[in-house]
Structure 1
Amino acid sequence: MKKLKIIATLTAMLFFSSLLVACAPTKKAQPSTQEPSTKTIKVTDASKNQLTVPLHPKKVVVFDNGSLDTIKALKESSSVVGVAQKNLPKYLDSFKAVASVGGLKEPDLEKINALKPDLIIISARQESFKAELEKIAPVLDLSIDPSKIWSSTQTNIMTLAQIYGKETQAKKQLNTLNTEIDAFKSKASKSNLNTLTLLFNEGQISAFAKGTRFAIINDTFGFKAIDDQIKPSTHGQSVSYEYVLEKNPDVIFVIDRTKAIGGDDTGSNLSKNELIKQTTASQKGKIIALDPGVWYLSGGGLESTQLMLNDVEKALK
């Protein structure tokens, strides 16, 4: 009899216990504390080589300022852990709090290694350090091809968009920029202004035209170059003040290298030269000083291309 009572009691306890469990609120699943698996993506660099890089990289060192402003425009600035602070343009001041990894031509390899990046982005200025940088992390070269500036710029922008999974956003911004460029190019072509682009460096001047580093003025924005025989060169073709007066352009675009690198710019005023004063450009107030931080230290990005377009618009006012 006692055994039957005990069995009945245990059965009742189990029944009520199951009811309590059934009525208890269900706990939400806790998120995993494990790191997600690292995914990669294959992209093509400036030399048409395929490279495997992290998808959605978390720690990126960026030497190419054009790529840096594209990353900023795509709202991925938080991924940047190191930049070339010694040569950081003013328009990229939002990265001043990021670690300094040397200059554009002198990367601090020890500092970069300490940051343990999962991707390093470079351009032509860092080419001689590429092998050393590759010992630290994958190195993506996004140099701009001067023979097709806008085309290679767009390719590089979309490469970064792929890496960050921001293709839709990048295409939207590029479409807007292309619309602005097309409209401006039409105006520039119709203006029929003859232009000359000069790099000013401590009193010395070099000329640039089609197929050169500043050729976006002619090849993309539509201004007519007054001299199409200028030899393509990274540093431009060295010319004299007499040459400028002889060509006598309607517009002179000037990039002041001395100001860009923080040198002594006390004599950096092309318009004060007596020969330059005699040019049509000077007499019509068409010597346009372009932002050296954008044109000499950067370029080839979403933001820098927009700033370049804003700069050359002054020639039509």
Structure 2
Amino acid sequence: MINRRNTLAALLFGALASVLSFQSPASADVVIKHAAGETSIPDSPKRVVVFDLATLDNMNRLKIDNIVGVPEGIKPKYLEQYNDAKYTKVGTLFEPNYETVASLRPDLIIIAGRSAPKFNDLAKIAPTIDLSVNNNHYLADVDRNVTILGQIFNKQKEATDEIDSLNKKLEGSRKLAADKGTGLLVLTTGGKISAFGPGSRFGLLHSGFGVKPANDKLEVGNHGQMISPEFILETNPDWLFVIDRDAAIGREGESAAKLLDNALINKTKAAENKHIVYLDPQNWYLIGGGLSGLHETADQLDDVFSKAK
């Protein structure tokens, strides 16, 4: 019923958008190629609605503050300012409030990932671009997205500097990881464990940060491959990297540390050598391809690998 109401709202305010004379493609100054195609947008849009936390991170990093609407929900500390009432809450990452979005009269809407399926409905309200990343060329898409933001908001130099800084940082991280052995990344939620390998949504651990996969035949699905403590022992990684999803979204439940304090897991090389690393759950689960999140992850991995024996 809620979805139907939202769809009807999208149609209604799509019509309202044309009545209120939102920027039309014919008078736009910039054509942007993005994950969902091409969109004509006004040069240096002044009223932007953002439905993606990685984009919010990147815009914050580039000091772009043309934002009038953001999704509600948990945000990492470096994005807490967007909880302020000056930024209208426009629904969740999954479900836009179309009426609220239209009332803001945006001249640009940015979506990605969780909000990507709403592209067509949001595009009826205002020019919309999709900055989703592809797991098979994740970092290239991060670079593309930062470049796009620099182009749209006349921050080309800042965007280039940020891309260069990140790539230099990751190059150093890969060198540190090169001789540190194998790693397995798991996500815990609701007392269950899933593993993610190369090519998955968290495959950046391997492709970006240079950790050798302990198992390169894991299912590449959005939710990973369900596994057991026995599987972790059989895989026996040198390092076990953990994302606590429940902690990321503020859900109560058994912590990842408690769940993984298991007799079988404690027999692994990772446990015996104190190489179980709890990754920042918000950076990995909520943010993904954001500059600040990637820098923080690089700092964490550099620290643990530098101290490793």
Cα offset for 1:39? Answer: 5.3
Is residue 207–residue 230 contact of structure 1 (8 Å, CA) maintained in 2? yes
Unpaired runs of 5+ in structure 1?
1-37
2:271 is matched with which residue? Answer: 282
What is the identity percentage for the equivalent residue pairs of Structure 1 and Structure 2?
36
CA distance in 2, matches of 1:184, 1:115: 42
1:253 is matched with which residue? Answer: 241
Which structure has the larger Rg? Answer: 1
1:106 is matched with which residue? Answer: 95
Is residue 60–residue 117 contact of structure 1 (8 Å, CA) maintained in 2? yes
Tell me the TM-score normalized by structure 2.
0.86
2:73 is matched with which residue? Answer: 86
CA distance in 2, matches of 1:99, 1:287: 40
Which shows bigger deviation, 232-241 or 121-130?
A: 121-130
Alignment of 1:254-273 (within 5 A): 254-269=242-257, 270-273=259-262
2:7 is matched with which residue? Answer: none
CA distance in 2, matches of 1:54, 1:289: 43
CA offsets 1:65-114 (integer angstroms, 9 cap, x no match): 111111011111x2111111214333310211121112111221121111
- 1:130 partner letter: F
Tell me if 1:153 matches 2:119.
Answer: no
- 1:57 partner letter: P
Partner SS for 2:256: coil
CA offsets 1:23-52 (integer angstroms, 9 cap, x no match): xxxxxxxxxxxxxxx7521111114x2211
CA distance in 2, matches of 1:103, 1:58: 22
1:57 is matched with which residue? Answer: 45
CA distance in 2, matches of 1:301, 1:260: 16
Alignment of 1:1-317 (within 5 A): 40-47=29-36, 49-76=37-64, 78-97=65-84, 98-191=87-180, 193-269=181-257, 270-316=259-305, 317=307
Cα offset for 1:274? Answer: 2.4
CA distance in 2, matches of 1:262, 1:188: 31
CA offsets 1:224-277 (integer angstroms, 9 cap, x no match): 000000121111111111100111111111111111111113443244222222
Is residue 288–residue 314 contact of structure 1 (8 Å, CA) maintained in 2? no
Which shows bigger deviation, 80-89 or 206-215?
A: 80-89
CA distance in 2, matches of 1:189, 1:267: 30
Cα offset for 1:314? Answer: 3.9
- 1:74 partner letter: L
Is residue 101–residue 107 contact of structure 1 (8 Å, CA) maintained in 2? yes
Partner SS for 1:249: coil
Is residue 217–residue 312 contact of structure 1 (8 Å, CA) maintained in 2? no
CA offsets 1:292-312 (integer angstroms, 9 cap, x no match): 111101121222221221232
Is residue 59–residue 116 contact of structure 1 (8 Å, CA) maintained in 2? yes
Partner SS for 1:297: helix
The change in CA–CA distance for 1:108 and 1:87 in structure 2 (over 3 A counts) is farther
Is residue 90–residue 293 contact of structure 1 (8 Å, CA) maintained in 2? no
CA offsets 1:197-249 (integer angstroms, 9 cap, x no match): 01111111111111111111100111100000012111111111110011111
Cα offset for 1:183? Answer: 1.7
- 1:111 partner letter: T
- 1:93 partner letter: E
CA distance in 2, matches of 1:245, 1:284: 14
1:14 is matched with which residue? Answer: none
CA distance in 1, matches of 2:121, 2:74: 21
Is residue 245–residue 285 contact of structure 2 (8 Å, CA) maintained in 1? yes
Partner SS for 2:287: coil
Partner SS for 1:137: coil
Tell me the TM-score normalized by structure 1.
0.83
- 1:45 partner letter: H
- 1:116 partner letter: R
Is residue 197–residue 216 contact of structure 2 (8 Å, CA) maintained in 1? yes
- 1:255 partner letter: I
Cα offset for 1:313? Answer: 2.4
